[in-house]
Amino acid sequence: MSTPTRTPTGAPAHLTGPGSGGVGDDAQRPDGVLKVRGEFAYGSDLWMEDMLWGVTLRSPHPYARILAVDTSAATQLPGVHAVLTAEDVPGEKVYGLELADQPVLAVDVVRYQGEPVALVAADHPDTARRAAALIRVDYEVWEPVTDARAALGHPTRDALHESDAEVTELSRESAHLHPEGNLVRHLKVRTGDPEPTADVVVVGEYEVGMQDQAFLGPESGLAVPADDGGVELYVATQWLHVDQRQICSALALPPEQVRLTLAGVGGAFGGREDLSMHVHACLLALRTGKPVKMSYNREESFFGHVHRHPATMRYEHGATRDGQLVYVKASIWFDGGAYASSTPAVVGNGGTMGIGPYVVPNVHVDCYGAYTNNPPCGAMRGFGSVQTAFAYESQMDALAVELGMDPVELRCRNAMEQGSTTPTGQVIDSPAPVAELLRRLEAMPLPSTGDGALDLRDMPGGVSNTTHGEGVRRGVGYAVAYKNVAFSEGYDDYSTARVRLEVIGGEPTATVHTAAAEVGQGLVTVEQQIARTELGVEQVTVHPKDTTVGSAGSTSASRQTYVTGGAVKAACEAVRAELLARAELLVGRPVPDLRLAGGQVVSDTEEVAVPLVDLLGDEAVEQTVQWRHRPTEAIDPETGQGFAHVQYAFSAHRAVVDVDTELGLVKVVEMACTQDVGKAINPQAVVGQIQGGTAQGLGLAVMEEILIRDGKVVNPSFTDYLIPTILDMPPMRVEVLEYADPHAPYGLRGVGEAPNISSGPAVLAAIRAATGLPLARVPVRPEHLTGTC
């Protein structure tokens, strides 16, 4: 088989430097200097001399039958090299992360606005766009199904207030967006008394809008046809091997002919778990015989990836007079949109962790994921746990009011701790400092109330000069949350690491090769730190991420430092064992405490100092290890019981807000966060994750929502979909706790998602405290605060 001969400008190279920092240090990123010089090549920066540009023609309708497609005018436009439709997909026409139900290019029917229908490759991106506009598609437009509960055969939301909402077989059969019906998954949790009673009962209904990952680097990549009839794909993604599996299926090519390399990734947050332009660029490259680059613009990006599931939730909490939770009943509906994506797993999280980090003896949860004609929803940071946290934390506040109890006290009285049993019957077997996280927040000083000179910039509305303090009320709110780390419910979750140690330029140098996607979080730094600590060397090179090494699993579920970190550690240990065995041979006797440090094999008890440079000579020692965390198990389909999750991450937030109650404007004054991370492998990066996660949670609470009207997206741009700016983000206090999880490498806990879950509910609680309004929907809009909606 011939090997690829062409490499695009900007193809990822080995990352070296900065040359110091082991586990626990604030080591600098090996890609940091490249990034500040503008030399780090993202997917959209790749370039080849004779490359073409690919664009996608998408459906303008959320639900329609395709009657005819006429590509002749587009094909004839000068500069156009190929126009493709579903007929040109040589392999399986559908793909998907968990269920293969999503067409590569629409077949007969489109099920959401923005569904890809045709592709064009041309020598200039604008030529390609003009050609796409010349493709004539005749549609028979159908009325879209846009409500998740309606899709499941339920009464609509208003009627539902009067009725129970059980999914029956009948309602399931009446659904029809997909052959199997509209129910993607129904998860049940049943524990304790099915008919519990309590002194005090609070009931609430809550709604969470559709959030976008809004990563800044657009979906992009470059496909290069190879001499062997295969294709090289350089792409910004989250899991190279699951992409490869789906691409092979669509192209009808074996894995050895579909080779992927990670291009620079400009943020991900779950939005790159599903395929976007991957198969499309490969199809165009294979058809034209030329490299094809695709890079979405912002509007297309809003249609080109899945979003966070909107949710409607009904909760009932029962407690004793002294604030002990007796029961929780919850019904949770996730709108999965037109295709399954990761809806089954989102339902898994939403259902199993849907009552929050509390001990409750009687639990009855139904969690549903439904197909509709809304945009497909799937993974986003927090993954099914973000939505429920708004509901269960709102319920805890409502219960505190009902009981006349302090909301932090109520939470602490019911908090999970090590040894507690979850609603799914799992005993928490590592630290769970839920109460301590809250108590530490409470102990932090509150920001001043600004009795100094008036500064408009501190006011809600800022320099718009909408208030000088009149009508402004301050509120403080707390929230705590938990989230599973790594893949759950019996999934075979592993990572592969190849570690090589050799002498380069007179220095022992380790090379770490994994396929784990670096998306900005700093995994490449962690890989270097672990290798430095385990091998006692300074120089560690990070190999480009590609499919020439085994799968690392997904960069999601806060799992890579745990799982790929564990794999790198294990591979280093294998390399080390080989080196120590060689050293013993050299020394000529067994030495029990040989270890690697400072580029040497040393012993604390005997006079041994063998430089690695001498031990290795011209040889390299290389080990490849596949590493797994301890297995989880599938949950019981009727009761939800089982060892579903390998680890939990816990975080808590306190939010302080000022609300202009006349105009409905919110200024978040301060956010404080406490989080247990087990062990901070890179403290600076850990704090960065907490701050960034806090911002995304704040965004969902007060501004971020993809607005859908009749199945169509109203605001697909950064002009109309707002994410927090530096003016919207307040100063943050962060306190990191390190209670080791004895089951995890170095005792670490996944970090990235938990702070994204607890921050929004704290902001919502603070706005409620400021206004006295019940506020059951996020994002909170001005009209919710002024009563003018």
Partner 1 sequence: MRLTCTVNGTEQQVDDVWEGESLLYVLRERMGLPGSKNACEQGECGSCTVYLDGLPVCACLVAAGQAEGRQVGTVEGMADADTLHPVQQAFVDAGAVQCGFCTPGLLVATHDLITRTGRPSDAETREALAGNLCRCTGYEKILDAVRLAADRMGADR
Tell me how far, at minimum, the Cβ of 566 lies from partner 1, in Å.
23
Closer residue to partner 1, CB minimum distance, 416 or 680:
680
Closer residue to partner 1, CB minimum distance, 397 or 705:
705
In sequence order, the β-bridge partners of residue 66 are: 139
Sole binder of partner 1 in the list 13, 39, 289, 614 (CB under 8 A): 39
CB atoms within 10 A of CB 118: 23
Please tell me the count of residues contacting partner 1 according to CB under 8 A.
64
Report the site for partner 1 in 488-527 (rule: CB under 8 A).
519-522
Instruction: List own/partner pairs for 501-504 with CB under 8 A and 24 or more apart.
Output: 501/535, 501/537, 501/575, 501/579, 501/612, 501/616, 501/620, 501/621, 501/622, 502/616, 502/619, 502/620, 502/621, 503/612, 503/613, 503/616, 503/617, 503/618, 504/539
Report the site for partner 1 in 191-220 (rule: CB under 8 A).
213-218
The helices-and-strands tally (H runs, E runs) of the chain is: 19, 33
687 CB-near residues (< 8 Å, 6+ apart): 734, 736
Beta strands in 618-731 (DSSP E): 621-628, 647-660, 665-676, 708-709, 712-713
Closer residue to partner 1, CB minimum distance, 124 or 321:
124
Tell me how far, at minimum, the Cβ of 49 lies from partner 1, in Å.
12
Instruction: Provide the Cα torsion 84, 86, 90, 94; round to 10°.
Output: 140
Report the site for partner 1 in 216-275 (rule: CB under 8 A).
216-218, 264-269
74 CB-near residues (< 8 Å, 6+ apart): 80, 83, 118, 120, 131, 132, 134, 135
Closer residue to partner 1, CB minimum distance, 38 or 254:
38
Tell me how far, at minimum, the Cβ of 680 lies from partner 1, in Å.
13
Tell me how far, at minimum, the Cβ of 671 lies from partner 1, in Å.
9
Decide: is 715 part of the binding site for partner 1 (CB under 8 A). no
Closer residue to partner 1, CB minimum distance, 267 or 361:
267
Tell me how far, at minimum, the Cβ of 336 lies from partner 1, in Å.
24
Closer residue to partner 1, CB minimum distance, 33 or 242:
33
Beta strands in 354-413 (DSSP E): 362-370, 377-378
Q: Could you give the string, one character per residue 283-302, with x where binding to partner 1 holds by CB under 8 A and - elsewhere?
A: ------------x-xx----
Sole binder of partner 1 in the list 23, 41, 210, 367 (CB under 8 A): 41
How far apart (Å, rounded) are the C-alpha atoms in residues 625 and 567? 6
Report the site for partner 1 in 521-580 (rule: CB under 8 A).
521-522
Closest by Cα among 307, 239, 209, 719 to 495: 239
Instruction: List own/partner pairs for 769-774 with CB under 8 A and 24 or more apart.
Output: 769/475, 769/476, 769/477, 770/473, 770/474, 770/475, 770/657, 770/658, 770/659, 770/661, 771/473, 771/475, 771/659, 771/661, 774/398
Q: Could you give the string, one character per residue 650-689, with x where binding to partner 1 holds by CB under 8 A and - elsewhere?
A: ----------------------------------xx-xx-
Tell me how far, at minimum, the Cβ of 758 lies from partner 1, in Å.
14
Closer residue to partner 1, CB minimum distance, 267 or 490:
267
Closer residue to partner 1, CB minimum distance, 44 or 59:
44
Decide: is 625 part of the binding site for partner 1 (CB under 8 A). no
How far apart (Å, rounded) are the C-alpha atoms in residues 649 and 385? 12
Whether residue 18 has a cis bond before it, omega within 30° of 0: yes
Decide: is 44 part of the binding site for partner 1 (CB under 8 A). yes
Decide: is 16 part of the binding site for partner 1 (CB under 8 A). no
Report the site for partner 1 in 417-476 (rule: CB under 8 A).
455, 457, 463
CA 666 to the chain's CA centroid: 27
Closer residue to partner 1, CB minimum distance, 37 or 589:
37
Piece of 26-34, 188-196, 242-250, 483-491 that binds partner 1 (CB under 8 A):
26-34
Tell me how far, at minimum, the Cβ of 264 lies from partner 1, in Å.
8
Tell me how far, at minimum, the Cβ of 297 lies from partner 1, in Å.
6
Piece of 42-50, 105-113, 136-144, 202-210 that binds partner 1 (CB under 8 A):
42-50
Decide: is 121 part of the binding site for partner 1 (CB under 8 A). no
CB atoms within 10 A of CB 471: 14
How far apart (Å, rounded) are the C-alpha atoms in residues 366 and 354? 10
Sole binder of partner 1 in the list 94, 504, 620, 729 (CB under 8 A): 729
Piece of 22-30, 163-171, 600-608, 655-663 that binds partner 1 (CB under 8 A):
22-30
The full length of the chain comes to 789
In sequence order, the β-bridge partners of residue 369 are: 185, 334
Closer residue to partner 1, CB minimum distance, 142 or 718:
718
Q: Is 129 exposed, middle or buried (0-12, 13-18, 19+ CB in 10 A)?
A: middle
Tell me how far, at minimum, the Cβ of 319 lies from partner 1, in Å.
35
Backbone angles phi, psi at 427, to 5 degrees: -85, 125
Closer residue to partner 1, CB minimum distance, 381 or 712:
381
Note whether 640 and 365 are within 8 A (CB): yes
Piece of 168-176, 249-257, 488-496, 723-731 that binds partner 1 (CB under 8 A):
723-731
Closer residue to partner 1, CB minimum distance, 220 or 467:
220
How far apart (Å, rounded) are the C-alpha atoms in residues 342 and 752? 19
**341 three-state secondary structure:** coil
Piece of 323-331, 338-346, 594-602, 692-700 that binds partner 1 (CB under 8 A):
692-700
How far apart (Å, rounded) are the C-alpha atoms in residues 602 and 525? 26
Tell me how far, at minimum, the Cβ of 218 lies from partner 1, in Å.
7
Piece of 173-181, 540-548, 594-602, 721-729 that binds partner 1 (CB under 8 A):
721-729
Decide: is 691 part of the binding site for partner 1 (CB under 8 A). yes
Decide: is 717 part of the binding site for partner 1 (CB under 8 A). yes
Piece of 28-36, 154-162, 189-197, 314-322 that binds partner 1 (CB under 8 A):
28-36
In sequence order, the β-bridge partners of residue 561 are: none
Decide: is 40 part of the binding site for partner 1 (CB under 8 A). yes
298-301-302 Cα angle (round to 5): 95
How far apart (Å, rounded) are the C-alpha atoms in residues 566 and 681? 12
Decide: is 32 part of the binding site for partner 1 (CB under 8 A). yes
Query: Where do we find the tokens 């559908």?
Result: 94
Decide: is 65 part of the binding site for partner 1 (CB under 8 A). no
**Buried/exposed code over 674-700 (b: 16+ C-beta within 10 A; e: otherwise):** bbbbbbbbbbebbbbbbbbbbbbbbbb
Tell me how far, at minimum, the Cβ of 678 lies from partner 1, in Å.
20
Tell me how far, at minimum, the Cβ of 762 lies from partner 1, in Å.
14
**200 three-state secondary structure:** strand
Piece of 32-40, 308-316, 354-362, 395-403 that binds partner 1 (CB under 8 A):
32-40
Note whether 475 and 549 are within 8 A (CB): no
Sole binder of partner 1 in the list 22, 31, 221, 230 (CB under 8 A): 31
Give me the helices (H) in 703-744, please.
none
Tell me how far, at minimum, the Cβ of 427 lies from partner 1, in Å.
35
Sole binder of partner 1 in the list 13, 72, 90, 124 (CB under 8 A): 124
Q: Which residues of the chain form contacts with partner 1 (CB under 8 A)? A: 9-10, 26, 28-29, 31-33, 35-42, 44-45, 47, 124, 126, 213-218, 264-269, 295, 297-298, 455, 457, 463, 519-522, 684-685, 687-688, 691-696, 717-719, 723-727, 729, 731-732
